[in-house]
Structure 1
Amino acid sequence: MGIDRPNQFSDMEDADFDDSQLAYHVKDILNSVLIGENDLYNQLVGVMHRSRNLQFDEVGLLETSLTALSGAVSCLDIAHHESLLSVIFSMSLWNYRPSVMDALVELIVSMAISNGKFVDLSLGMLVSNFMPPPYFLDRLKHPRGLERKYQVTSRVHAALEKITEYVPLAPLRLLPIVLEGMPTIHRNDHAIVIYVENMLKLEGSAIGELVGGTLLMAVVDRLIDLDVSIGWDEMLEEDFCKGIFDMELLDLDQDVDYSEEDGHELHPLSCKSLAGNAIAELLDSLMVMTFSHLESCKDTGRLMEVFETLLQSFQLTVLNAHKSKFAQFVMFYACALDPENCGLRFATVLADIFVQNLHSELTRMSAVAYLASYLSRGKFLSASFVAIILKRLVDWCMEYCKTQDGDVNPKAHRVFYSGCQAIMYVLCFRMKSFMDVARLKSQLLLMPLEAILRHKLGPLKVCLPSVVQEFLRLAKAARLFTVSKTFVFDDLLESELSRAFGGLERLDMFFPFDPCLLKKSGSIIREHYVFWSTVRPKYDDKESSSDEEDIDEDFVDENEDILDDGIAGSSDEHGICLDEFDYALNKMSITPKDSFSFKFGGRFQEHTRMPSRIRPSTSPESL
């Protein structure tokens, strides 16, 4: 408002009044409204309206008025002073210098403490200051802008805690305000980052003791929202012409900062398709912020408490999320920070979900996909612990085999096949570490793996050839089976059975902890992560030739349908509708290098093997 101030009102600042006298003066102004005298009241409202680019005398008058109002809150009435309250509760701390901020915060706190009707309005005003006005966002790139950010947010949180001291139930009233005020992903990226930063700060404060769990789950939900919003379909379509879908995993990409010698599994998507993607960069920033919060929780001894909230959130939202590619690494990082507690608990819970028939089939399959990926990729997990969990999976699969007398059927036994594929996948990564320790080697040799794999349910015919082939190579080298010879596939064409389980034409299925492509959060994960390039065995032509010569003839006879180009067992024969299989069926698969080159005009190689760099899951359908 552009109301001019008569001397009668502006002299209030210059007069030799103490705070109590100023308060009495403002009380008179507020009470005058009740008898229809509005001139001074309107002038007071006009002072509150002035915000940006204040002159020195205007700053002083505003500060004085706010201080006086703090002493007159008992006279404020929602019905009679609506215009004044509306202005006060819409004021932004970001517009003022520290002295005015202090006066405004004092007024807001006084109003919340003095009158229950003002609590929600006061909390809402403070939460609105989590984010700066749009005009201020660019200033956050500069030191002075960051200084103002600290000045504002520190005062906001101090005010919230002070209100909580006097109004113990304030956190419960604050929670819905914070959740409803959370920006959408279409708002300015920097504003969302600042808002989430304040949510995490609340979670770590005394207020968080009552509502911190819900706030943290809301942050995870927002990470999921961003994750599934990344436009993978367009990226992959853009890369199709360049041969990305033939599953070639490049040895080196000159545009990437990391080489194979650094132990990184790379794909062009990591340096090209995500570069400049605003949603991916926003998700990356929020994940780094969440990682930092987890570190602070560890430093204060709260990590296990916070982890239980994360675990609950994971089971409710992340576990069965269709397109989650990166948000799950929050769990991975929490486990890496505390392997002995968080790390072991996460694996145990996933194993429990799989082996206990208390959840849907899709949830159990998703759980074992997460478990296999986690056990394979977590550098912080000991081989002994991995062996313990692996034995649980093997025992469950063996018991399942004892109760079944039927033939191969991906639809009827999909949980079983997902467990078998998980076991083989883990051993692809962990076989060497088991064989290097006599006790673990003995335990592995005693596991009934051969009985499971040779069962009439035919897991080797259903699980994806890339995982099966690599596992069998390693099993042969480790003399894992009683027979002296093992088995290989003659080509890379997936059978109808493995397609039914892994997904017809799905191109590039995934284990959930495939390499994280986000630049900043991925670099944090790296030191805790096992890359395939660091554990893969070295194969040469002689070894491949030897494999051909040493095929177990008995096993070939038993599985000759796998070795034919036609690959027996069509979906029609088993009554399988491929479209019925949800994404969770596909979470377990890794397609090998060149496995689909035939479909794009290439030719098959003689043998399949685990790719030197396992391509992160990026296909539209697997997402």
Structure 2
Amino acid sequence: MSIYSSKTGVTSILKSFSNADRERAKTAALNKVRFSTPKEKGIVESVRVALEEHNFHLIQEFTYFIREADLCDEEIVTIMRDARKIVHSLTPDFADLVEALLSLNWKKRSTDAIQAYSEFTVDVMVAHNAYIHIGITKLILNWIPNDQESAEWTNGSPSQLVHADLETVHGLLNRILTAVPMAFDVVIDTIAAKFPYFKKPAHVTAGYIHNVLWLMESKPVYEELLLQLVLQKLLILDVNAPRDEIEELREEIDEEDADAMFQMDDVNASPKQPQALDHPIGQMLDICLLKLLKFLDDKCRPVLNSSDDQRVAKSRFFKTLIHIFDEVLLPSHNTHHVQFVIFHVCSIRPAYAEAFLSSLWLKVQNPNVSPIIRHVAVSYIASFLARAKFVPLSTITYYLKELSNWANTYINDSDEFSSKNCSLKANMVFFSVCQAMFYLIAFRARDLTNNEKNLTLLNSLQLSRLAMCHFNPLRYCLPPVATAFAGVTRTYQLAYCHTVLERNARRKLATIYGHEKLMPEETLDTFFPFDPYILPLSNKYIEPNYLVYKVHELDESAECVATETMRRKRGDSEMVEEDDFILADKRQKLSELSKSQLFDKQFYYGTSPGFNQQQ
């Protein structure tokens, strides 16, 4: 056995190590894992070896170590202070190392660690322009809340803890912008590039906009570019939050509230606070507009005992907003809510409203401006004057005179060729101006007919001439607008438009209908930008200054007759019976009415763009 054991060496395995052997084994083991803790070498030594010996092995190990190790505050302080000592040596060859240093989680660290990180960040950007983009990107990414942080953001406002972290980020960004002027463009480009996708959770986009507005407040030099960017992003949300979907959700909420009212025991209970929409994009848009409207209110509202410089700054900011409106909002189509930012700002000071209307009217009169833009500008004028409570009646009458003078001059200047060419495309601006007048008179009929002075003004507008002219603007107006205008003007003997409406109705009998709407060439593609605002949270900035439509003191019983008649159908596959001439077989049921009364009631407006909120 002993011979066999000695040959196989089994007994040698069972021998215990001597102290010297044990130390040698420990040292060998430590040397084998030395690459995982390169901090013993340090960043200074690693960079020296790379520069002098052209050996980047230590730099690579140190970079991996920084990215993967769970560093304590003291280690971060040491590394950052050492990196500052050799900051001028950190050329673009060490981009991976610098990126790893700038990627460290530093916001929730000790004061010393935050200071060390901030000092290195500023120094490395000052020394090397190549790292500005990396450093700014790392900072901006801290603006984006995580998908799981919704509890830390209430209606786009951060909790105290998150606010404290963001203060640290914005403080460092301010230092960089002060020390490195070249970072200006990089900040703008990075903010635009990192803007969250519109289908992200609401608190993510709202939190990002919160930080963008924060930067605008601390650095006014960014106001124009960032405000334009924010409005462009909100337009995307607005277009992707269809009005009909939001209205359906609001109707369901209203029905639930109505049912709950009958079950309430305490009739003196405080009014219910507006609820967030159960529509992801609509809710996001509502929260973002809530924050933006508050920001604009603070920027534009006058302050008591303010200095001349402050007043000049507010006026300058409003001019910037008007410029952004012209560039972003005015050319946009199918938006419902974002344009109300200008509505709210104009409600703050009468001078703002006057400047806004004047800017639009100048575009309408300018033949060098695109007809589409002129058409939209007219729609903005009409909708704004109709809906804004804060606009005095004198301003409304002034623009009615201006619109009338322009339209009558257009008729006077029309030559023989234009008299024959009455198409919508060739005369779009004229038809838009006429429709704006018709809409405004119908909407504001209560105010415009309450005394002899105002009726005299309406008589001076030559409404009959406009309605009866060879261009036939009533043909291209939205039917509810034409009907409402005809009802008001006949009641006060300003014009008699029903003959024209009858003739236009006969023409349209042969028109091909699709989805119960006229073909595009038959009517203006019009929208009234300040139709009712339906977002619940941000509506608190709009509702106090918003005029809800009220039915005029005409024969209001006709509305019920007209509404019921317009909804009747001959069959599921046929068009809606909107025209009086289609209803010839139904006239016996209304034989007590004269033909003119029947026609008027048939065309009487019930719901329409601009006339869909009644009290």
Residue 608 (str. 1) matches residue 606 (str. 2): no
Aligned twin of 1:537:
552
Aligned residue for 2:337, secondary structure, equals coil
- Report the Cα offset of residue 311 of structure 1: 2.5
Residue 374 (str. 1) matches residue 373 (str. 2): no
Aligned twin of 1:464:
478
One-letter code of the match for 1:308?
K
Q: Cα RMSD (Å) of the superposition?
A: 4.3
Aligned twin of 1:289:
291
Residue 597 (str. 1) matches residue 567 (str. 2): yes
Aligned residue for 1:609, secondary structure, equals coil
Distance 1:3 1:97 in 2: 28
- Report the Cα offset of residue 139 of structure 1: 4.4
Q: Rg bigger for which structure?
A: 2
One-letter code of the match for 1:49?
R
CA contact (8 A) 1:226 1:280 kept: yes
One-letter code of the match for 1:608?
F
One-letter code of the match for 1:468?
A
**Pairs within 5 Å for 1:92-491:** 92-93=105-106, 96=109, 100-134=113-147, 136=149, 139-140=152-153, 146-206=159-219, 208-209=220-221, 211-231=222-242, 254-255=255-256, 275-299=277-301, 301=311, 302-340=313-351, 342-404=352-414, 406=419, 409-436=423-450, 440-480=454-494, 487=498
**Pairs within 5 Å for 1:501-520:** 505-506=516-517, 510-520=527-537
Distance 1:607 1:470 in 2: 11
Distance 1:498 1:176 in 2: 55
TM-score, normalized by length of structure 1?
A: 0.71
- Report the Cα offset of residue 414 of structure 1: 3.0
Tell me which of the two structures has the higher relative contact order, counting C-alpha pairs closer than 8 angstroms and 6 or more residues apart.
1
Distance 2:466 2:504 in 1: 23
Aligned residue for 2:395, secondary structure, equals helix
Residues 89 and 26 of structure 1: CA distance in aligned 2, closer, same or farther (over 3 Å): closer
CA contact (8 A) 1:492 1:608 kept: no
- Report the Cα offset of residue 530 of structure 1: 0.8
Q: Deviations over 1:482-540 (max 9, x none)?
A: xxx7748999996656998999844896311111122222332111111103xx32343
CA contact (8 A) 2:136 2:187 kept: yes
Q: Deviations over 1:242-298 (max 9, x none)?
A: xxxxxxxx9x9534689xxxxxxxxxxxx99x9422111111111111111101212
One-letter code of the match for 1:279?
I
Residues 399 and 37 of structure 1: CA distance in aligned 2, closer, same or farther (over 3 Å): closer
Q: Deviations over 1:355-381 (max 9, x none)?
A: 221222222211111211111111111
Aligned twin of 1:90:
103
Distance 2:238 2:323 in 1: 19
**Pairs within 5 Å for 1:541-580:** none
CA contact (8 A) 1:370 1:512 kept: yes
Give 5+ residue unaligned stretches, structure 1: 10-24, 240-249, 259-270, 549-591, 618-623
Aligned residue for 2:92, secondary structure, equals coil
Residues 412 and 216 of structure 1: CA distance in aligned 2, closer, same or farther (over 3 Å): same
- Report the Cα offset of residue 93 of structure 1: 4.5
Q: Deviations over 1:582-622 (max 9, x none)?
A: xxxxxxxxxx95685245757668433333685799xxxxx
- Report the Cα offset of residue 332 of structure 1: 1.4
Distance 1:5 1:138 in 2: 38
Residue 523 (str. 1) matches residue 540 (str. 2): yes
Aligned residue for 2:297, secondary structure, equals helix
Aligned residue for 2:159, secondary structure, equals helix
Residues 541 and 32 of structure 1: CA distance in aligned 2, closer, same or farther (over 3 Å): closer
Aligned twin of 1:267:
none
Residues 202 and 429 of structure 1: CA distance in aligned 2, closer, same or farther (over 3 Å): same
- Report the Cα offset of residue 463 of structure 1: 2.2
- Report the Cα offset of residue 204 of structure 1: 2.6
- Report the Cα offset of residue 229 of structure 1: 2.0
One-letter code of the match for 2:67?
H
Aligned residue for 1:514, secondary structure, equals coil
- Report the Cα offset of residue 459 of structure 1: 2.4
Aligned residue for 2:362, secondary structure, equals helix
Distance 1:360 1:192 in 2: 34
Distance 1:111 1:232 in 2: 50
Residue 48 (str. 1) matches residue 48 (str. 2): no
Aligned residue for 1:357, secondary structure, equals coil
One-letter code of the match for 1:383?
L
Distance 1:499 1:92 in 2: 71
CA contact (8 A) 1:425 1:471 kept: yes
User: Percent identity of the aligned residues?
Assistant: 22
CA contact (8 A) 2:379 2:432 kept: yes
Aligned residue for 1:519, secondary structure, equals coil
TM-score, normalized by length of structure 2?
A: 0.72
One-letter code of the match for 2:553?
K
Distance 1:72 1:367 in 2: 60
Aligned twin of 1:246:
none
Deviates more, 1:453-462 or 1:57-66: 57-66
